[in-house]
Amino acid sequence: MFFRLLAAFLLAFIFWYCPLPAQAQTGYYPPPLSYANAELKGKDFSGQNLQAAEFANANLELTDFTDADLRGAVFSGSVMTQANVHGADFSYGMTDQVNFTGADLTDAVFVEVIMLGSIFNDADISGADFSYAFLDGAQVKKLCVTATGVNPKTGVATRDSLGCR
């Protein structure tokens, strides 16, 4: 019994005064890009990987996001009037309270995106996929009036993704 107690004491003493070296992290994950509250009018982000980037409350008027990877990105409260997001992937992100007036949303993917309170006046949504997106009932009704096409990436018809009748 004495030897067990002595061994436990020695072991505790070793771990207390001689801790194991810290292990390095196996992968480096840089923090997401932040363009929150930025003035980005007319900027070109086409084809860029902007996963999980933050564009909240930014002025993105006339900005080009053609074919950009925007999965998980946050655009809450931004102005995207006349922006070009043709073929961009916004899946799993947030575009709530965004002004998309006159924007080109053709062939964009908005799968599981929170879009509550966004404005789509004169926006071109041909071929856009809104599957499982969170939209207001009034938004869906308005978008269904002009919904046409099939998304080339997902194969889902715009009208079907919106639940149009």
Is the pLDDT score of 81 beyond 80? yes
Structure token pair of residue 146 = 């002009």
Q: Which of 3-12, 20-29, 150-159 has the highest mean pLDDT?
A: 150-159
Q: What is the CATH number of the domain that holds 41?
A: 2.160.20.80
Inside any domain, residue 23: no
- Interval 101-128: pLDDT, tens: 999 999 999 999 999 999 999 999 999 9
Number of domains forming the structure of the chain? 1
Inside any domain, residue 16: no
- Interval 44-66: pLDDT, tens: 999 999 999 999 999 999 999 99
Q: How does DSSP classify residue 26?
A: S
Measuring CA to CA, which residue among 76, 29, 72 is closest to residue 50?
72
103 or 21: whose pLDDT is higher? Answer: 103
Inside any domain, residue 18: no
Inside any domain, residue 153: yes
Q: What is the pLDDT of residue 30?
A: 65
Inside any domain, residue 24: no
- Asked if 69 and 49 count as a contact pair (C-beta separation under 8 A), the reply is yes
pTM assigned to the model: 0.81
Inside any domain, residue 127: yes
Q: Which domain does 147 fall in, by range? A: 33-158
Inside any domain, residue 8: no
Indicate the SS3 state at residue 8: helix
Inside any domain, residue 15: no
